[in-house]
């Protein structure tokens, strides 16, 4: 149950992290909140992380009956799973089913509850209902290898009873599920980026797909660091969204500055042409005054031309330059740095997810190969007995 304890804790952490909220205004701070557990939550996790003991029964029952709080709907399902497992161990199938029927169908614990429910009917000798449940579980949770293994178990039950017509299609269904899931695993091996996209956009709940099952397997592996990578991916993705919004604002500011500059462009061009003409006029007057230093009218015209040139320079200064304002230029450069930094962080986190996938993939593929072997063996024995 240590794996369940870790998976539950990790799932709570993921659910309570506001991963879909907008990043802070500065796009730099981590938007996650620390996981908050009540004393009842912590006590339950300690029980689930240890060996099953009947002495825990009152606490497990009391947790669902008396404990309010945000974590209760999730942890309460695992409390009922533990109660049901202990009841099955002790032969109380009725109490086990009473607990299992209260597990929410959309809970991450739903597949385990369904498998225990099927097992409770097997232990009561109601193999027909058990087999029906195994088939239903495989249809509901096709990506869960234990759900598919239930089909093999159902096929074995029918085979042992000599029910060839019922056993053969179940074996074939199990083999088809195995083939589909092996194909899905190979697709993930060829395109591992699909997995981190799933990690950032959803929470692994019921193992309805092979991808969900891989996510859960990696979460349960303490050495994979996939939760750390997922947290980085989620935070970096939020920062990237925030930067994109800020970039829109910056782009609008630049466009506004550019539009204003364009509206001043015609005036600036005219002023520059006037400045050139005035500078030429001053040069011509200066040449005349060299040869006629006493020509007062030319000297007055030169003074007037110089005054006009100064006014033109002042006008050009007020119209401004064609370069971006310093503040906007600074924001533009900082935006480029921030975007490069967040892309680097995302790529580093993706690499962690790829490494975790590389470690977990062969294990799940090996499980399915063994499962296919069991189904083929049962099918061969069935056909041999019929022949």
Domain end (from 85, 105, 125): 125
Domain assignment of residue 198, yes or no? no
**Owning domain of residue 256:** 240-342
Final residue belonging to a domain, choices 89, 104, 125: 125
CB 143 within 8 A of CB 209: yes
* Cα distance between residue 127 and residue 140, in whole Å: 20
Q: What are the residues whose beta carbons fall under 8 Å from the beta carbon of 247, sequence distance 6 or more? A: 335, 339
In this predicted structure, what is the pLDDT of residue 373?
A: 93
pLDDT at 264: 62
- Flag whether 253 is in a domain: yes
Q: What would the pLDDT profile of 144-203 be if each residue is shown by its tens digit?
A: 888 888 889 888 888 888 888 888 988 999 999 999 989 988 888 888 777 766 665 554
Three-state DSSP at 35 gives coil
Report how many domains make up the chain. 2
pTM of the full predicted structure?
Answer: 0.60
Give the pLDDT mean for 114-124.
91
Q: Is residue 178 part of a domain?
A: no
Instruction: Determine the pLDDT at residue 9.
Output: 36
Q: How far is the CA of 209 from the CAs of 65, 182, 195, in angstroms?
A: 33, 12, 12
The crossing angle, in degrees rounded to 10, of helices 226-291 and 193-201 is: 90
Q: Which of 227-236, 242-251, 364-373 has the lowest mean pLDDT?
A: 227-236
- 294 assigned to some structural domain: yes
Task: Identify whether 54 is part of a domain.
Answer: yes
How many beta carbons lie within 10 A of that of residue 114, not counting itself? 24
Residue 117, in any domain of the structure: yes
Count CA within 13 A, CB hemisphere, residue 124.
19
Query: How many whole angstroms separate alpha carbon 65 and alpha carbon 55?
Result: 17
pLDDT-derived band of residue 93, with 50, 70 and 90 as boundaries?
very high
Give me the numbers of helices (H) and strands (E) for the chain, helices first please. Answer: 14, 0
SS3 198: helix
Q: Which residue has the higher pLDDT, 70 or 94?
A: 94
What's the pLDDT tens digit per position in 222-241? 666 776 777 777 788 888 88
pLDDT for 19 equals 31
What is the distance in angstroms between the CA of the first residue and the CA of the last residue of the chain?
44
Q: Which residues make Cβ contacts (< 8 Å) with residue 281, sequence separation at least 6?
A: 305
64 lies in some domain: yes
Residue 149 lies in a domain: no
């Amino acid at each position: 149950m240590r794996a369940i304890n870790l998976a539950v804790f990790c799932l709570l952490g993921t659910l309570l992290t506001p991963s879909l909220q907008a990043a802070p205004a500065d796009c730099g701070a981590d938007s996650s909140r620390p996981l908050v557990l009540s004393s009842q939550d912590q006590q339950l996790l300690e029980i689930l992380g240890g060996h099953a003991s009947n002495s825990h029964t009152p606490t497990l029952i009391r947790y669902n009956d008396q404990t309010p709080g945000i974590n209760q709907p999730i942890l309460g399902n695992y409390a009922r799973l533990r109660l049901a497992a202990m009841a099955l161990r002790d032969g109380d199938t009725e109490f086990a089913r009473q607990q299992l029927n209260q597990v929410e169908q959309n809970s991450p614990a739903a597949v385990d509850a369904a498998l225990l429910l099927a097992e409770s009917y097997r232990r009561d000798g109601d193999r027909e209902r058990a087999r029906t449940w195994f088939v239903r579980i495989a249809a509901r949770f096709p990506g869960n290898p234990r759900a598919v293994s239930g089909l093999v178990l159902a096929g074995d039950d029918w085979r042992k009873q000599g029910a060839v017509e019922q056993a053969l299609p179940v074996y074939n269904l199990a083999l088809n599920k195995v083939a589909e899931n092996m194909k899905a695993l190979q697709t993930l091996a060829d395109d591992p980026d699909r997995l981190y996209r799933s990690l950032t956009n959803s929470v692994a709940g019921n193992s309805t797909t092979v991808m969900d099952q891989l996510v859960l397997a990696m979460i349960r592996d303490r050495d994979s660091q996939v939760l750390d990578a997922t947290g980085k991916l989620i935070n970096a993705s939020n920062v990237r969204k925030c930067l994109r919004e800020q970039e829109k604002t910056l782009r609008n500011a630049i466009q506004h500055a550019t539009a204003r500059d364009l509206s001043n462009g015609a005036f600036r061009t005219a002023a520059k042409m006037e400045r050139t003409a005035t500078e030429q006029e001053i040069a011509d007057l200066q040449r005349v005054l060299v040869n006629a230093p006493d020509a007062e009218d030319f000297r007055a015209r030169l003074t007037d031309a110089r005054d006009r040139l100064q006014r033109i320079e002042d006008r050009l200064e007020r119209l401004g330059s064609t370069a971006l304002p310093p503040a906007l230029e600074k924001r533009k450069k900082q935006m480029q740095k921030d975007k490069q930094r967040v892309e680097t962080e995302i790529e580093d986190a993706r690499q962690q997810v790829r490494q975790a996938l590389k470690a977990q993939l062969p294990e799940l593929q090996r499980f399915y190969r063994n499962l296919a072997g069991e189904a083929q063996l049962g099918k061969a024995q069935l056909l041999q007995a019929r022949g």
